[in-house]
Structure 1
C-alpha cells in the first residue's frame, strides 16, 4: 500500500524594525539573529554594516532623503511620492540591489496604489492606518497572481498574528518594531504558527466490533470543511484515522459542514503545534488541525463540543509496516471516515480489507507534546 505525501507549509517573513529602538537595540538585535529573523530594517545604512550575511539588510529611510550610498543594504524601500524616484528607476542604476515601494493606505487612491504596487513590485511595504482589515483583503485579492512579496506593518504581536491570517493566505510577511526583548522570539513563533502538512498512510481494516454504550464527542468548529477534509482521531497517539465532516448529504437531516462526529471521548486528535488533545478536553476556542486526503493542513477553531452517550463501534486497521491503529466511533452508519481519493466510508459498513486513510506520528507523547522516549500504548 502506498502513502500520500505532502510538502511542508510555508513560513511567513519577519522583518524587524530597529529604527526607533533605544538602549535595548543591541540585546534585541542579538535575539533577532539568534531566532533567524528574515530581515532587519534600518533608516541609516551604517546600522546595517555589521550585520551578518544570514539576514536580509533592508534600508528604509522613511521621512529622510535617499542617501547617495546604500552601503551593504540588499533591499531598499522607497516612497516615490517623497523620494521622487521609483523602484524601477533605481533598479536600473543599482542592478545588484532589490528595490521596493512603501505605500501608506489612508483612502481610496492610496489603496489603489497599494494594489498596483503589490501586482508589480518585487517588494511592497504597506502601512494601513484604518484598523479594519478590509483594505488588506482587497490588496491580497488584487495581488493573487503576483510574484512579488507583500510586507505589512504590524503595530504589535496581536496585529501580526491577524495579518498573517487575513483571507486565509495573509500577508507574505510583517514588519514590526519590538518593544522589549522577547518580542522577536514571539514574532517568529507567530510567523511559524502554520501547521506542517502530513504524510497520510493507507490503512487496511482488519476487524470491526460493536462494543456497547459510551460517550462520544461531536466537534463543531467555526469553519466549513471541504468534502475531502476532516480531523485525525485515534485511540493511541501513534496512529489516527481521518474522520470526515458532515459535508456529505444524509437522509432525515441537513448537512452540517462545520461538524465532525469524531469519536469516543478518550480519543486523541491533533491540535496546534503538533500536540495531541483528548476529545474530552476540547472546548470553545481550542485549535485543531484540519487535514484533507492529500495531507494538506490548516488550523481551525472549536466552537463547541457535544458529548453524549451513544452505542460505539471499534475499528481496527493495519499499516503497511504491521502497526495497528484503533478508532472508536459512534455506532451509526452516518458517522464516516475517509479513504484514498476522498472516498467516503460509513463506519458501520466497514469490513476487513477496506482501505482508510490514517496518520502515524513517529514520536511518543508527554502531556500531548511530541517527545522521543519509550512509551507503550495498547
Structure 2
C-alpha cells in the first residue's frame, strides 16, 4: 500500500484540524518544521521533522528527521552524531545537479523526500530507475490530491508514497481516496445460453482501449443493467485479420457496460479519454482508458441466457464468427457458434441504474 504523508509546515491556524483529519483517515506520517507541532501525536502516525535552514538543538518527539544533504549534511553522518535519531533526505530537484543528489540519496538513505520543480515525470523516472536495487523509502510531494495517481503510475509502480501540503480541510481525505482507490474483484457467474437469434441490422461499437488487454480479459456488456456478459478482447488470432489486443468488439450501441466498479455507461456514451472496466475471467478488474469508440452498421446477433437464479440475460453483438464471448475457465467462444445449453460468463450487478448510478427503485427491463 502506498503511503500518505501530510505536510503542515505552512498550515497556519489549521494544523490541529488537519492533523485530526489525517489521523482519522489513517495517514502514515505528519510532517512539521517545529518539534512542538509533533508533540502529542498518537503512535499510529509517524512524526516527521523537516526543519528549515538550521537544524534545531533538539528534535523533540520526532520519529524521523528529514534534512537537506547539501545544506545540513548526509543523513548517515548526522545519524552517527545523533545516536538514536533516524535521518532521511529532502531534495528539491530543479536541475541536473540536484537530480544527481536525488539519485545518490535514494541509493543510500533510508528515506528520501523529493520535490520536482518542472511539470515532467522524466526526473522521477530517472530517480526510480536509480533506486531499482535499493531499499529506501521514496516519497514525492504533490500539489493536488488529483495528481497522486499520475506520480504513483510512473514506471508502473511509482514512489513509495506521496506528501501533500493541504490548504483546507478535506484535501487530506481526497488524497487518501486517490491513493487507495482500487478496482474491486467482481463475482462472475455462469450463464446458460437459451437462444441465438439473427437480429437484423444496427450499429455496434468496438471499444479501443489505451492498453494491452489480456487473453482472458474483456468488458462486460448487456442489454440490461443488471445482467451483463463478458465479451473478450481481440487478443486471439483470426485467420483473415491481425489481432487487435487493445480492442473489444463489444455490442450494440444501446448496451450497458461498466465504466468503473460502480457506474454503468451506454457503449454509445464512451468517449476518448474516459474509462471502461476491463474484467478477467477470474473476476479481477481494472479501469482502462478509452482511446476510441468505433461505431459502424453491421448485422446483429441476439444472445439470450439465464442465470442459475432465473435472471434473464441478453446481449446483442455483431453477427460474425470473430466476435467472441468468454466461458468458464476463460474459454474463448465464437458468438455465432453458440448453442442453447452452452455456458458463458456474466455478471449480475443486482441494483437498478439511473444515469449510470446504482439506485434502489422499481425498474423492469425486458
- For residues 371 and 75 of structure 1, do their structure 2 counterparts lie closer, same or farther at Cα, with a shift above 3 Å needed? farther
Q: Determine the structure 1 residue equivalent to 2:229.
A: 241
CA drift at 1:333: 0.9
Q: For 1:202 and 1:143, locate their aligned partners in 2 and report how far apart those are by CA, in whole Å.
A: 45
**Equivalent pairs, count:** 365
Q: Determine the structure 2 residue equivalent to 1:221.
A: 209
Q: Determine the structure 2 residue equivalent to 1:355.
A: 343
Which runs of no fewer than 5 residues in structure 2 stay unpaired?
none
Q: For 1:290 and 1:338, locate their aligned partners in 2 and report how far apart those are by CA, in whole Å.
A: 13
Counterpart of 1:47 in 2: which secondary structure?
Answer: helix
Preserved CA contact (<8 Å) 2:252 2:316 = yes
Larger gyration radius, structure 1 or structure 2: 2
For residue 203 of structure 1, the aligned residue among 171, 174, 191 is: 191
Q: Determine the structure 2 residue equivalent to 1:334.
A: 322
For residue 32 of structure 2, the aligned residue among 42, 48, 55 is: 42
Q: Determine the structure 2 residue equivalent to 1:137.
A: 125
Cα deviation digits, residues 304-332 of structure 1 (max 9, x gap): 22222222222233444444432221111
Alignment of 1:45-56 (within 5 A): 45-56=35-46
TM-align CA RMSD: 3.1
Q: Which moved more, 1:274-283 or 1:367-376?
A: 367-376
Q: For 1:305 and 1:377, locate their aligned partners in 2 and report how far apart those are by CA, in whole Å.
A: 25
Does 2:253 align with 1:265?
yes
- For residues 80 and 244 of structure 1, do their structure 2 counterparts lie closer, same or farther at Cα, with a shift above 3 Å needed? same
Preserved CA contact (<8 Å) 2:304 2:315 = yes
Does 2:290 align with 1:312?
no
Q: For 1:146 and 1:320, locate their aligned partners in 2 and report how far apart those are by CA, in whole Å.
A: 52
Q: Determine the structure 1 residue equivalent to 2:265.
A: 277
Q: Determine the structure 2 residue equivalent to 1:5.
A: none
For residue 151 of structure 2, the aligned residue among 159, 163, 169 is: 163
CA drift at 1:294: 3.3
Does 2:291 align with 1:303?
yes
For residue 93 of structure 1, the aligned residue among 77, 83, 103 is: 83
Counterpart of 2:155 in 1: which secondary structure?
Answer: coil
Q: For 1:354 and 1:98, locate their aligned partners in 2 and report how far apart those are by CA, in whole Å.
A: 63
- What TM-score, normalized by structure 1, do the two folds share? 0.82
- For residues 246 and 22 of structure 1, do their structure 2 counterparts lie closer, same or farther at Cα, with a shift above 3 Å needed? same
Preserved CA contact (<8 Å) 2:89 2:111 = yes
Q: For 1:256 and 1:33, locate their aligned partners in 2 and report how far apart those are by CA, in whole Å.
A: 47
- For residues 298 and 136 of structure 1, do their structure 2 counterparts lie closer, same or farther at Cα, with a shift above 3 Å needed? farther
- For residues 312 and 122 of structure 1, do their structure 2 counterparts lie closer, same or farther at Cα, with a shift above 3 Å needed? farther
Preserved CA contact (<8 Å) 2:192 2:341 = yes
Counterpart of 1:266 in 2: which secondary structure?
Answer: coil
CA drift at 1:358: 2.6
CA drift at 1:285: 1.9
Preserved CA contact (<8 Å) 1:17 1:177 = yes
Q: For 2:180 and 2:71, locate their aligned partners in 1 and report how far apart those are by CA, in whole Å.
A: 35
- For residues 346 and 312 of structure 1, do their structure 2 counterparts lie closer, same or farther at Cα, with a shift above 3 Å needed? same
- For residues 343 and 86 of structure 1, do their structure 2 counterparts lie closer, same or farther at Cα, with a shift above 3 Å needed? same
CA drift at 1:263: 0.9
Which runs of no fewer than 5 residues in structure 1 stay unpaired?
1-9
Cα deviation digits, residues 146-175 of structure 1 (max 9, x gap): 655431111334533421222333333211
